[in-house]
Structure 1
Amino acid sequence: MGRKGRSITLSLSDKDKERMEALALHYDMTWGDRANISKLIEAIARQKLKIAPNHDWSVERINLLDRVRNLLIDAGKMEDARAIAELLRSRTELTIPLRQQLEQFLERDVRSWRLQIERYISREQPFQLSYQDAADNLFQFTIHHARIVPRNDRQYLDCWCEEISNSDDLPDLAHNRTLRLDRIIDATVTPAKAIWRKYLATVEVEMLLYGGLFFNYSSKQGRDLLVERLEDRPQTLRVVRTITSSFWFMRDILPYGADCEVIRPAGLREKMGAIAQKMQQRYTTQD
């Protein structure tokens, strides 16, 4: 927010950004002479900005703040999202459906350990937790870096852990884990004496794209390091990308089928080859 480690990136449209900046200027939330949206959200979250109930907020402003609330939820910033929901709920201009939606959101059980995890992440404080996987196996993890990531209607903790036993990822990614938030065991999140890492572990992946992907592939901003057409191979696109998890990478490219070929690292190419062979066996074996 206003400090190192508290920044929030929201995918606002240019128009919404202008409106949020106008709101920040209205309440004197600035950095120098410029409007500061993060400072505005921080003031709301810390209840430094208190506005008496009235009837002069436009529908446009209310809808804007509700969109920001939803973006904060997607970013895993539940405390900030709840603060904005509380502010909106105090207004008398809300429609009945929106008020009911906010009431339902605020009535949800936001467990204390979830909020504690958010605080540890924002403060760059390593922590420990207990985790139960789908097979009911219990694990203890010491977390040196983490971020909350929404995927497929669930929220996950992408993290760098000391413990690498039972990891089936590539050796360079063995410290990285993806934990479902709803499988973290209550009352087990505690601070750890360790050094916070700035990032997850990463590896570079090289792949070749063929067929329709050659024409239609959209570069993954922030992940693709190189996208180029190969002059010596017609209709072939070479892509170099950084990944933090082979599982999620394979989930991403498997729909491409034979139009995507992983070249390196060798371990990941072998994984993809094994999947392709198993699929071939499934479809060629007759009962």
Structure 2
Amino acid sequence: MSVRKAAMILYRCCWLAFVALVLVDVFADSLVPFGLVFVPAAAAILIGFLVGRRSREDLAKDRPAVEVGPPVTGRWIALNSPADKVPSHGTHGYGQSYAIDIVAEPEEGSRPPFRRLWPVARPNRDFPAFDAPLVAVADGTVVHVSDGQRDHLSRNSGPALAYLMAVEALVRDMAGARRIVGNHIVLDIGDGAYAAYAHVRRGSLQVKAGDTVREGQVLARCGNSGNSSEPHVHFQLMDHPDLDVARGIPFTWRGIGVPANGSAFTAEGAVSPG
């Protein structure tokens, strides 16, 4: 087992210890001093955070950007882009250093806007990204696929987003990478680079582990599984197929580059049904 893998396991164990000790404090006899429970709980989570953070900061340094095709077709908007900051999602964990999120907007204003209060949540069919085809960014081999997690309602309102950030994300992080990325696909595209697609729609997989794919081939459909605020594509390149130990690799999309936050781009090209 690698040091990074062990550190991630320790990180999650410390989170579980923190939750367990806080529950003890809440439900234990009132004669138990608060500090006897909370202090070791806080120490456990601090140690886990520091160890986990250190393991995540080991980037695939000095590696040039890998040029691949875009993972979608049509008009999309970039969010959480590595063109604006690295790590793009605020963490190096799960190989996300150079990850990008994109949302479909076929026409300006066709994507439901964020609401302060109401509606609290929307069905996935309201978002043009939902069920959009995800295509192979290069010729490669399917290393791993994961399916079965539900496509939950959107979290694109004030109350729903607060719930996502304060409660749901914490629980998912304790459960591990699978619950963060939801249904996903990992491709081996050669030269030590792996492409990952997250938040895939349940039941939409058109490939399985071991399959050989061609660039432009449809792999699955965009969904809203995992730690996701709305149907969107989370894409990243990394140096290992295991999200717990992977380090991010910079990418550039052929003909597009790396779109900045809020910028619209159109991905063109033939799509093969496979």
State the TM-score, normalized to the length of structure 1.
0.26
More helix by share: 1
State the TM-score, normalized to the length of structure 2.
0.27
Larger radius of gyration: 1
